[in-house]
Amino acid sequence: MKLGVFAVLFGDRKFEEALDLIVGAGLQTVEIGCGPYPGKAHCDPDQLLVDERARDAFMHAITSRGLSISALSVHGNPLHPNTEVAKEHHRQFEQAVLLAEMLGVDTVVTFSGCPGESDHSLNPAWVTCPWPEEYAKVLEWQWEEKVIPYWKKQHDFLEAHKMRVAIEAHPGFVVYHTESMLRLRNACGPRIGVNFDPSHLFWQGMDPVAAIKTLGKANAIFHVHAKDTSFDRENMSQNGVLDTKSYRNELERSWIFRTVGYGHGEETWRNIISALQLVGYTGAVSIEHEDSLMALEEGFLKAASFLNGLLIRERLETIWWT
């Protein structure tokens, strides 16, 4: 495994400056955002797809520093009931696939998307319970009429370009846990896998190690994010974990995202890294920093130091045992 970072974290800096900081922290890979939700701070597919000189300069900035691209990320909702949003997010997804192919990158990260509750919806409708029975009917309609048909077509597109998509399982979208991820993969094809992010599993009460083992057996782990979650036990005891308050309202929320190691300790993260190794994952572990209690660079450097130590120790133990 190689340690990397989701480079949109440094979107306010020049690309070369961001890359120098990444190399200085001892990282080996970068995950590049190319729209919609993560933005396009360092990567403009509209330009790079048609300008060979710009592509060469882009790649040179990365490879000349000994870095590689782990994935292009284009988190969006191509199933949005607003057709204009859906078309634009789909367009950017296709661009990311085509650009990844040109750059020699084999993985594109995105969300599964979430439709509305019918063809007349204005906004996405995320179903989380089976009763009253209308909810169960909506969920089946979403999967059978929207989700599976769309992703079957995208699987054909991915196959044509020898690419794979890593779906980030995220609440608010139809793929948000292990079962929904495998449902999508089994229905649509093996070029669809998961961008494994423990932070979204922690706050749902899931065990990342158990999820890794199940997804690993299905050869479904294509990319990994490193982000943590911490809980306010007092708030959670009163309101549970379904929390719609602003992420900036840390005092009142049941949980918040944290830098790796500030939600769960070394043992938990060692178990996650070990489980990834056990299922044969050899790709990137990409730091994603969304900790509102830490400055950008502080949180990044703490996560890099923490994970570098774990990965180095894991490599040494593997060498010793073999």
* Model confidence pLDDT, tens digit, residues 97-128: 999 999 999 999 999 999 999 999 999 999 99
pTM: 0.96
pLDDT value for 49: 98
- In this prediction, residue 315 has a pLDDT band, given cuts at 50, 70 and 90, of low
CA atoms of 235 and 70, how far apart (whole Å): 37
Pairing state of beta strands 107-110 and 68-73? Answer: parallel
Q: Has residue 28 got a pLDDT over 90?
A: yes
15 alpha carbon, distance to own chain's centre: 21
Separation CA 265–CA 258 (nearest Å): 12
Quick check: 320 pLDDT over 90?
no
Nearest to 166 by CA among 94, 75, 90: 75
**pLDDT-derived band at 314, boundaries 50, 70, 90:** low
Q: How many CB atoms lie within 10 A of CB 17?
A: 11
* Domains in the chain, CATH or no CATH each: 2-321 (3.20.20.150)
What is the mean pLDDT of the segment spanning 21-48?
95
Residue 319: predicted pLDDT: 45
219 — pLDDT class (breaks 50, 70, 90): very high
SS3 string, the chain, reads: CEEEEEHHHHCCCCHHHHHHHHHHCCCCEEEEECCCCCCCCCCCHHHHCCCHHHHHHHHHHHHCCCCEEEEEECCCCCCCCCHHHHHHHHHHHHHHHHHHHHHCCCEEEECCCCCCCCCCCCCCCCCCCCCCHHHHHHHHHHHHHHHHHHHHHHHHHHHHCCCEEEEECCCCCCCCCHHHHHHHHHHHCCCEEEEECHHHHHCCCCCHHHHHHHHHHCCCEEEEEECEEEECHHHHHHHCCCCCCCCCCCCCCCEEEECCCCCCCHHHHHHHHHHHHHCCCCCEEEECCCCCCCCHHHHHHHHHHHHHHHHHHHHHHHHHHC
Residue 38 banded pLDDT, cuts 50, 70, 90: confident
CA 189/CA 7 separation, integer angstroms: 29
For residue range 255-282, what is the model confidence (pLDDT) as tens digits?
999 999 999 999 999 999 999 999 999 9
> CA 62 → CA 22, 55, 68, 86, distances in Å?
10, 11, 6, 31
pLDDT at 322 over 70: no
Report the C-alpha gap between 53 and 61 in whole angstroms: 12
Residue type, 100: A
Residue 228 has pLDDT above 80, yes or no: yes
Q: Is the pLDDT of residue 5 over 90?
A: yes
